[in-house]
Structure 1
Amino acid sequence: MSRLSDLIHAAKRLDPQLGADLEAEIMPLQERLPFGLNFERHRPEAVELPGHQIRRGSKVRILPPRGSTTPGDGRIWSVDSVTEGMASLTERGVAEPERVWHAIDDLVTVAEFRDRIYPGLRSTGRVDRGGDKPFHTVINGENFHVLETLLFTHAGKVDAIYIDPPYNTGARDWKYNNDYVAADDLYRHSKWLAFMERRLKLAGKLLNPEDSVLIVTIDEHEVHRLRMLLEQTFPEAYLQMVTIVINPKGVAQGRFARVEEYALYCFFGAAGVSATYDDFMSDSATQRNTRFWKGLLRAGTNAQPSDGAGMAYPIYVDTASSRIVGTGRTLRARVAAGEVHGDLDAWLPQMVEPDTAPDGAAVVWPIRRDGSLGVWQAVPETLMALVDSGFTKCVLRPEGWALSYVPNGVRSKIESGEIEVTGRDEITGSVNLRMVRDLTRAKTVWKRPRHDAGWHGSVLLRKLLDARLFDFPKSLYAVRDALEPVLASKPDATVLDFFAGSATTAHAVALLNRADGGHRKTILVTNNEVSDAESRRLRAAGWRPGDPEWEARGIFGMVTEPRVRAAFTGLKPNGEPIDLEYEDGEPASDGFKENVEFFTLSYESPFRIAADRAFASIAPMLWLRAGGEGRRIESLDGGWDIAETYAILRDLDQAAAFVRSVQDAPGVRIVFVITDDERRYQLVVSELPERVERVRLYEDYLLNFAIVTDD
């Protein structure tokens, strides 16, 4: 029916009465559609690609004049010729096309979603804090095209997909064919369903069919249509819906105040839900209680040297192991020796000779935020006993060493068995603790204060970025709790979010990894769209998509990338430590021991790829296909190269040495061979170990993207 709708639309432009008559004849046919979720599968969307070269054969749109806030010409044109800054254009998709000449500077390249693309990835930065852990990946690009890209790198390899798509509230919160979809759009729901169906079909090809989960969050505007769409798209999956209270205060909507949203789970193959220590609904006795550590610097009352001179002293921290190795003399001892006189609360360590610390150790005094001298929570003898038991922890932050300890109440629960010591850090000596509780099964209604999207979504994001730049981010803990039951038994899982927005998913997975030592990695995907209000302001100022001033205000550059950097490094975009404490008591300023790399999707020429002239853009995709860990092979100047998990051969004359190196590298799991000679390719791969996957470049790549994925 969507093709008929397009033809009727074209007919109305030529002859309004003929178009109306055709529409009247077709309406009875629409009423006889089969039972189920029926909707217009509208013509595939189109995405504008600012900055791409305009050449003969390109598809383009004509941009509105600079300074104009009116919508541009929505038609798509073919470029017939280009000469002296002008292009000859022919209107596409109509029986009697219009032909015009137009300045190239006012044109933008368009890719329709039925078109074949040949993508690449170009790195725009990274954070290395996780040692040999695999890299999280954050991609700036149209998510439909990135999903096509991931079919080459991750087909059947994704363990979980978590997405928070547009809710289609009618508040101009999403675009279709480059236009915001408003509440009065008669096709609003069918456009949304067509938009979602295309992406879900691609997403299904990325999931591991034997054991994986798709999670989609939504509110009441589309929840019922979405469930039917998921049932029709994935008939093999088991579906279940969870209700999550995200705003206990409620938002006035109609007669009742809405407090909830929904998470639809699709379980594939053997996927299930692990038991957890919290069922997410029962009374507070079953909630998390993981605040095992407390700051060693005393706060509140009795926190000045005059209140306890025996607890004001220097602590020596070994900088290599982050372990307390001793203490210096207390302020009380210095008073007794006649070294300190007068007001103890005004005394500062620099008023006497510096303490002599052991080699390689830092001297840490109990200095408060206002610069005055404070006191520790324990006298030296007690402190060193805590150190011997593993009940102290030292973390170097930008502002200096932060010391914490396991307080009396927690130690009492350890003795009673309520809290368990699961081990000690080999380097620091600090204990690892966890609550000892009966495992339970998560319920289908969740009501926890930590799921409040206001405090743990909007407020948390403002503390990370020092500004309000994103409307309605998810609660960090709601996302973590949504993933934990399905990922608890998968410490090496790959998690995809192709509506990444404020990047909460990567942040939540980092929390999971820290809690259980996992090596899970995320793939985040978002475009660099600007908001409706921001786009009007920018257009009025004379800017258009593609201009640096415009792109700097997009969601990827303003929110997604900065949020991941801030969460992982512990530093706000201005370089200051994040003033926030997580639910488990750990300060956000410590960041996470994770690696992440940021990419922008590029659109490559198949001819350049086939001629091996676009390796720089294809290299990140080969690395991702091999697991996204270890060193990336960036060039093949020597004819071949081998990294931790994959190897590439370009010069087949060096095949013998290449094969020997692969045989001696047990970590290599995939080999790429660049050749257009099928006979020589088969000779090379026949000598490779059985354990490695073989891929021929660039034939496999080109064939992958020659498949039209939209129906």
Structure 2
Amino acid sequence: MPETTQSTTPNHSLIEGDNLHALTVLNYTHAGTIDVIYIDPPYNTGNKDFKYNDRFIDREDGYRHSKWLSFMEKRLRLAKNLLKDSGVIFISIDDNEQAQLKLLCDEIFGEENFVANVSVINNLKGRSDEKYIATAHESLLIYKKTNFETLGLPAPEDYIEEYKLTDALGKYRLLGLRKRGDNSLREDRPNLFYPIYYNISTNQWSLDKENFRDPIEIIPKLSDGSEGNWRWGKDTLLKRKDEIVIQKVKKRNEYDVFQKDYLHKSNDELKRVKPKSFWTGTEFSSDAGTKSLKEVISDVNFRSPKPIGLIKCCLSQASQKSAKVLDFFAGSGTTLHAVMALNAEDGGSRECILVTNNENNICEEVTYERNKRVIQGYPNAKGEPVAGLSGNNLRYYQTGYVGREKTLANKRALMALATEMLCLKEGVYEEENLQGMGEITGLGVRVFQENSKAFMVVYDEEAIDQAVEIIQSALSSFEKIKVYVFATGSYPYTDDFEEVLDRIELCALPDAIYRAYQRLLPKEDKNTIV
């Protein structure tokens, strides 16, 4: 259900269904393509927040933790397959399962890929119903796939206030060039210990003592007088010589070496800082989550929606502006709301996939309705109009089933129902209107095209000749076209497409889908998900 018709705007997707089934579909359409996953799974509090085999699990259940871990393991293993190597997953959790989840994630993602366990202060006053200590935080577990690097966060006001010096390049502060903390002794990094020579009268420095008469020799020394090392090697020092400042430290009565640390980068972008292991602020509070949801749907009754600020903080440090984002415990739809808000702020084109079931009509009446209003505009709680974030497309999908037995009838049924899944896979949604070719498309060919990308679905092998004709005529301007063709096996009728083979990439369906699912679904499952 597109909410705009602009082909250049981000395409967001909402999938209604069991998230285990949806993750299986996404493993065919999006394996290795997701940049950021954020999830807020059930916390297993025993207060009817977690179902296992269609039954709520209470605190007295002796297998409470085991059932929750089994539930999460299946989903996290599928989720890992979806991440790029540079991808990252954020998981909100509280103390009911945080320890168990940490061990599970160590097993699935690898202990070496643990990034952080962030304490998010979401109730500064603390919860008065706690027996011993008033809990004021939740945890945010972060794991990378393999080579994730944080982009940092925009510098906060108190950090900016440290930049009190100015030159032609802008505001800066002075940072000591001497290494501090671990590996700061001379013997730790001998190549980073070397003298720098300074001429007071000319305010010049050099690595060569012979360049000056009676220069001051400056070496990296720790506060106890022992020899340390610099943060930079000689090559870096010379390359960045314009950043070096040498001045006298009055309380030590000696000269030392400093680096100009600028507030803005060369492209005038504000400096970003490394996130800390605890996040605090009104934007992370539970009240902020409830307020932002009720601002859009005033009469909604939804327990503990996540605040937009939390998701934006995750995305801001973890994703490029064109990132693909997934939330398969979508709940009230905060993640998509946050993605669209962040895009509006920084000009990004991030795309988001949400997955949730429709228990108590949550998907239709909360998740979808909220984000539809955010796109189209809505009256806030005071009745004032709020402009929509109209540069977005939102499409609503539902998972369905086809018998897994590979009969011809099942294969044709799967092929007929797979079109939306293929659109999702290719990221192309607009169907081409092939005027004058109704008799051809009526035989079982559909073409989808957006901008410079196109793909074709051939639903019946008898329509291959007509498909070739369309490729040669209506699609002649495209260099490469993906063609999905119905076949009873893995052979995609390569010989029949011989005339256009240099311009197409063939894929036999539903065989490719069967093979993808075969690696994921248990053998006893009798259905194929579409």
**TM-score normalised by the chain length of structure 1:** 0.52
**Does the CA contact (< 8 Å) of 2:92 and 2:140 recur in 1?**
yes
The reply on whether 1:145 has 2:25 as its aligned counterpart is no
Q: 1:494 to 1:165 in 2, by over 3 A?
A: same
The 3 A distance-change label for structure 1 pair 683 and 451 is same
What is aligned with 2:423?
623
Q: How does 1:19-58 map to 2 (within 5 A)?
A: none
Shift of 1:557: 2.4
Work out which of the residue numbers 86, 105, 129 in structure 2 matches 1:230: 105
Q: 1:460 to 1:233 in 2, by over 3 A?
A: same
> How many angstroms apart in 2 are the aligned matches of 1:471 and 1:596?
24
* 2:388 alignment counterpart: 590
Tell me: CA distance 1:178–1:610, structure 2 relative to 1, closer, same or farther (3 Å): closer
**2:2 paired with 1:169:** no
> Which deviations, in whole Å up to 9, do the C-alpha atoms of 1:204-229 show, x marking residues without a partner?
12222x22111111111111111110
> Which of the residues 518, 521, 524 maps onto 1:709?
521
Are residues 1:476 and 2:281 paired?
Answer: no
> Letter of the aligned partner of 1:222 in structure 2?
E
Greater Cα offset, 606-615 or 460-469: 606-615
Measured against aligned partners, the alpha-carbon deviations of 1:31-81 in whole angstroms (never above 9, x if no partner) come to xxxxxxxxxxxxxxxxxxxxxxxxxxxxxxxxxxxxxxxxxxxxxxxxxxx
State how far apart, in whole Å, the 2-side matches of 1:134 and 1:625 are: 15
1:277 corresponding residue in structure 2: 154
Q: 1:698 aligns with which of 510, 518, 528?
A: 510
How far apart are 1:506 and its partner, in Å?
0.4
- Contact kept? 2:373, 2:388, Cα under 8 Å: no
> Aligned equivalents of 1:131 and 1:511: distance in 2?
19
Secondary structure of 1:170's counterpart equals: coil
1:307 matched residue in structure 2: none
2:283 equivalent in structure 1: 450
- Counterpart of 1:647, as a letter, is M
Q: Does the 8 Å contact 2:295/2:380 carry over to 1?
A: no
Q: Does 1:564 align with 2:376?
A: no
Q: What is the Cα deviation at residue 630 of structure 1?
A: 3.8
- Structure 1 pair 631–268 and aligned structure 2 pair: CA distance change class (3 A): same
CA contact (8 A) 1:278 1:441 kept: no
Q: Which residue does the alignment assign to 1:217?
A: 92
Tell me the secondary structure at the aligned position of residue 165 of structure 1: coil
State the match for 1:648 in structure 2.
Answer: 457
**Matched-pair contact (CA < 8 Å) for 2:402–2:410:** no
Which one of 100, 120, 126 corresponds to residue 244 of structure 1?
120
Q: CA offsets, 1:310-346, max 9 Å, x none?
A: xxxxxxxxxxxxxxxxxxxxxxxxxxxxxxxxxxxxx
Is residue 255 of structure 1 aligned with residue 85 of structure 2?
A: no
Paired letter, 1:439? R
Give the partner amino acid of 2:131.
G
8 Å contact from structure 1 (residues 132, 630) kept in 2? no
Counterpart code for 2:286: A
Tell me how far 1:700 sits from its aligned partner: 1.2
- Between the aligned partners of 2:448 and 2:38, the Cα distance in structure 1 is 31
Aligned counterpart, 1:37: none
Residues 145 and 250 of structure 1: CA distance in aligned 2, closer, same or farther (over 3 Å): same
Deviation, structure 1 residue 276: 2.8
What is the rounded CA distance, in whole Å, between the counterparts of 1:679 and 1:603 in structure 2? 24
Rounded Cα–Cα distance in structure 2 between residues aligned with 1:201 and 1:255: 36
* Inter-partner Cα distance in structure 1 for 2:66 and 2:20: 18
Evaluate the alpha carbon distance shift between residue 419 and residue 233 of structure 1 in structure 2; reply closer, same or farther with a 3 A threshold: closer
Matches within 5 A, 1:285-296: none
Judge conservation of contact 1:513–1:519 (CA < 8 Å) in 2: yes
Question: SS state of the match for residue 494, structure 2?
Answer: helix
For the pair 1:674 / 2:482, whether they are aligned, the reply is no
Cα deviation 1:350-377 (Å, max 9, x = unaligned): xxxxxxxxxxxxxxxxxxxxxxxxxxxx
CA contact (8 A) 1:135 1:628 kept: no
CA deviation string 1:386-414 (max 9, x = no partner): xxxxxxxxxxxxxxxxxxxxxxxxxxxxx
> 1:575-597, CA deviations, whole angstroms, 9 ceiling, x for partnerless residues?
x466599xxxxx84333421101
Query: Taking structure 1 as reference, are residues 266 and 677 closer, same or farther at Cα in structure 2, changes over 3 Å only?
Result: closer
Which residue type is aligned with residue 529 of structure 1? E
What residue number does 1:492 align with? 322
Write the distance in 2 (CA, Å) between the matches of 1:633 and 1:526.
33
* Count of residue pairs the alignment pairs up: 407
For the structure 1 residues 677 and 498, does the alpha-carbon distance in structure 2 shift closer, same or farther, using more than 3 Å as the test? closer
- Aligned equivalents of 2:408 and 2:382: distance in 1? 49
Question: 1:316 maps to what in 2?
Answer: none
Query: What is the deviation of 1:620?
Result: 0.4
Post-superposition Cα deviations, 1:408-433, rounded to whole Å, max 9, x if no partner, equal: xxxxxxxxxx999x9xxxxxxxxxxx
Equivalent residue of 1:257, what SS? coil
Secondary structure of the corresponding residue to residue 314 of structure 2: helix
d(CA) in 1 for partners of 2:49, 2:282: 27
Q: Which whole-Å CA distance do the structure 1 matches of 2:332 and 2:26 have between them?
A: 21
Counterpart secondary structure, 2:293: helix
- Look up the SS of the partner of 1:213 in the other structure: strand
Give the partner amino acid of 2:281.
R
- The residue aligned with 1:96 is none
* Contact 2:152–2:317, Cα closer than 8 Å, also in 1: yes
Task: Tell me how far 1:177 sits from its aligned partner.
Answer: 0.6
Matching residue's letter, 1:227: K
5+ residue gaps, structure 1: 1-124, 287-417, 423-434, 531-553, 582-586
Change (3 A) 1:677 1:233: closer
Aligned to 2:442: 637
Matched position secondary structure for 1:269:
coil
Distance 1:680 1:213, change over 3 A: closer
Offset, 1:675: 2.8
Give the Cα separation in 2 of the matches to 1:271 and 1:669: 32
The correspondence of residues 53-452 of structure 1 with structure 2, limited to 5 A, is 125-128=1-4, 130-208=6-84, 210-235=85-110, 237-252=113-128, 253-278=130-155, 437-452=270-285
Q: Flag the 1:696–1:217 CA change in 2: closer, same or farther, 3 A.
A: same
Q: Percent identity?
A: 30
Distance 1:691 1:609 in 2: 31
* Residues 140/680 of structure 1: CA separation in 2 closer, same or farther (3 Å cut): closer
Measure, in 2, the Cα distance between the counterparts of 1:239 and 1:419: 27
- How many Å apart are 1:238 and its aligned residue? 3.8
Note the aligned Cα RMSD (angstroms): 3.3
Which blocks of at least 5 consecutive residues in structure 2 are unaligned? 163-262, 524-530
